[in-house]
């Protein structure tokens, strides 16, 4: 086995390069494939929030109202601000998503890289985490500015975990954790999962305080009551109880979600292999948690456990809320931004277990090597699929952009790509043009970025 000399400058430079490279690739990905055009949910945002802001009628209810099943209060404020500065340029929103991704990575590093494990050797093992975190397999979120809501939701989750790990009773750090949970919950519905995940953290952490637990529970109840006050399940969504009639389909959906989170796409390897990969990952998670409990490191890694809990709870929520659409829905890349934390958390817990507790455990090594092989395969496939999807999205959205610019003569088939009801595009495109927003900014031309 090759031994690395971590004192050598070349080795350290190589490690830093492999840590920085994924972020560079993601930035270039947005620059290469991002197209400025409003489509799908962005029309609803424009009609319900941005247009009222431009004509001076924006209300609190406009900001608090549902978008699908989400309450996007904070993302709407952020997107209105970006639109005001950039004339509603969607690429500017994508850049904001990338900035949030960078912030989230710093927060993740703060949670995972403690003084105990800060070393060049640990950073070497941290490289797969960076590639998973910045994976362009998140193409739907990276190339649609509206999806900055998902990245902002994750920001709230990570800030909450960071401060909950450090709080001691009812103090300012618990207060910031609660405010961050509020930010997350009112950015995307997934954010509600920070409340049970945060509770797990508070119950597991080494310095557990009942007051902090009670304060967190009260904040959770208040947030949930506010969130669901007047909330209506979208009519076109399947029943959350579909699993009662199709439990096997629901289980398969969950496992495909798990495989998809690491970049192993069902469309490449097939449905049943994807389910098997998902089962293997769940087995590895169970194995890791069992060994971590036996080694007595669960409490020391409460923040990482919270990340895993958040991801698993998000997958359960998706299984109940979206599973009725069919198993193909589980392959949507927009979910990777949340579900990848299950893989990242399991890997980090494995590293802590392997490096600091059980170096000579043969079974631990075997499972760890299997895990690493699957992660490496997932990273390679995820990057490849992301690049292919990026090219397809760019071509499609350039066509959509040209159609929007020529909305008066464009056929319904093109306008339906922008929004299911072409009449909505024909009604609201003149409003965009009036305010010189989006594709109508300045001397616009068809095909421009």
- Is residue 75 in some structural domain? yes
- Is residue 408 in some structural domain? no
Distance CA 400, CA 36 (A): 10
Per-residue pLDDT of the chain (449 residues; tens, 9 = 90+): 456 666 788 888 888 999 999 999 999 999 999 999 999 999 999 999 999 999 999 999 999 999 889 999 999 999 999 999 999 999 999 999 999 999 999 999 988 876 556 677 778 888 999 999 999 999 999 999 999 999 999 999 999 999 999 999 889 999 999 999 999 999 999 999 999 999 999 999 988 889 999 999 999 999 999 999 999 888 877 787 887 778 888 899 999 999 988 888 777 778 888 899 999 999 999 999 999 988 888 998 999 999 999 999 999 999 998 888 888 888 888 999 999 999 999 999 988 887 666 566 778 888 888 999 999 999 999 999 999 999 999 999 999 999 999 999 999 999 999 999 999 999 999 999 999 999 998 755 544 44
What single string gives the DSSP state of each residue in 122-175?
HHHHHHHHHHHHT-GGGHHHHT-GGGHHHHHHHHHHHHHHHHHHH--SSSHHHH
pLDDT at 359: 60
Task: Give the count of domains, the chain.
Answer: 1
- Is residue 61 in some structural domain? yes
Distance CA 64, CA 119 (A): 45
- Is residue 54 in some structural domain? yes
**Full domain range(s) for residue 56:** 19-399
Cβ-based burial of 355 (10 A; exposed 0-12, middle 13-18, buried ≥19): middle
pLDDT at 448: 45
- Is residue 437 in some structural domain? no
pLDDT at 118: 66
Nearest to 100 by CA among 138, 155, 144, 140: 155
- Is residue 100 in some structural domain? yes
- Is residue 280 in some structural domain? yes
- Is residue 426 in some structural domain? no
pTM: 0.94
Cβ-based burial of 35 (10 A; exposed 0-12, middle 13-18, buried ≥19): buried
Nearest to 303 by CA among 117, 153, 190, 166: 166
């Amino acid at each position: 086995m090759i031994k690395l000399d971590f004192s050598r400058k070349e080795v350290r430079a190589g490690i830093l390069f492999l840590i920085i490279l994924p972020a560079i690739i993601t930035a270039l990905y947005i620059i290469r494939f991002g197209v400025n055009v409003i489509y799908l949910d962005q029309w609803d945002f424009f009609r319900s929030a941005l247009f009222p802001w431009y004509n001076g009628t924006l209300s609190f209810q406009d900001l608090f109202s549902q978008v699908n099943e989400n309450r996007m209060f904070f993302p709407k404020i952020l997107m209105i601000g970006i639109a005001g500065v950039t004339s509603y340029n969607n690429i500017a929103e994508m850049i904001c998503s990338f900035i949030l991704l960078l912030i989230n990575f710093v927060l993740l590093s703060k949670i995972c890289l403690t003084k105990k494990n800060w070393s060049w050797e640990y950073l070497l093992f941290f490289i797969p985490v960076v590639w998973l975190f910045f994976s362009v397999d998140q193409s739907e979120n990276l190339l649609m500015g509206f999806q900055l809501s998902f990245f902002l939701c994750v920001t709230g989750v990570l800030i909450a975990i960071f401060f909950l790990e450090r709080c001691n009773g009812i103090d300012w750090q618990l207060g910031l954790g609660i405010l961050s949970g509020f930010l997350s919950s009112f950015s995307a519905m997934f954010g509600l999962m920070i409340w049970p995940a945060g509770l797990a953290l508070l119950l597991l952490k080494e310095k557990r305080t009942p007051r902090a637990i009670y304060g967190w529970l009260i904040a959770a109840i208040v947030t949930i009551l506010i969130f669901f006050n007047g909330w209506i399940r979208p009519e076109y969504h399947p029943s959350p109880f579909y699993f009662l009639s199709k439990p096997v389909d629901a289980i398969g959906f969950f496992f495909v979600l798990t495989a998809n989170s690491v970049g192993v796409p069902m469309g490449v390897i097939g449905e049943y292999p994807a389910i098997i990969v998902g089962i293997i990952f769940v087995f590895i998670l169970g194995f890791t948690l069992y060994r971590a409990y036996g080694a007595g490191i669960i409490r020391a890694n409460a923040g990482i456990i919270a990340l895993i809990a958040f991801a698993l709870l998000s997958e359960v929520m998706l299984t109940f809320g979206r599973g009725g659409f069919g198993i193909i829905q589980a392959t949507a890349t927009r979910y990777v931004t949340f579900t990848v934390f299950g893989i990242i958390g399991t890997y980090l817990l494995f590293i802590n277990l392997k490096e600091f507790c059980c170096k000579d455990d043969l079974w631990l090594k075997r499972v760890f090597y299997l895990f690493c092989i699957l992660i490496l395969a997932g990273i390679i496939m995820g990057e490849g699929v992301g690049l292919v999807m990026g090219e397809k999205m760019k071509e499609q959205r350039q066509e959509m952009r040209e159609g929007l610019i020529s909305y008066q003569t464009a056929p319904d088939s093109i306008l339906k790509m922008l929004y299911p009801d072409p009449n909505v595009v024909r009604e609201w495109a003149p409003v965009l043009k009036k305010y010189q927003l989006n594709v109508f900014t300045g001397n616009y031309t068809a095909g421009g970025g």
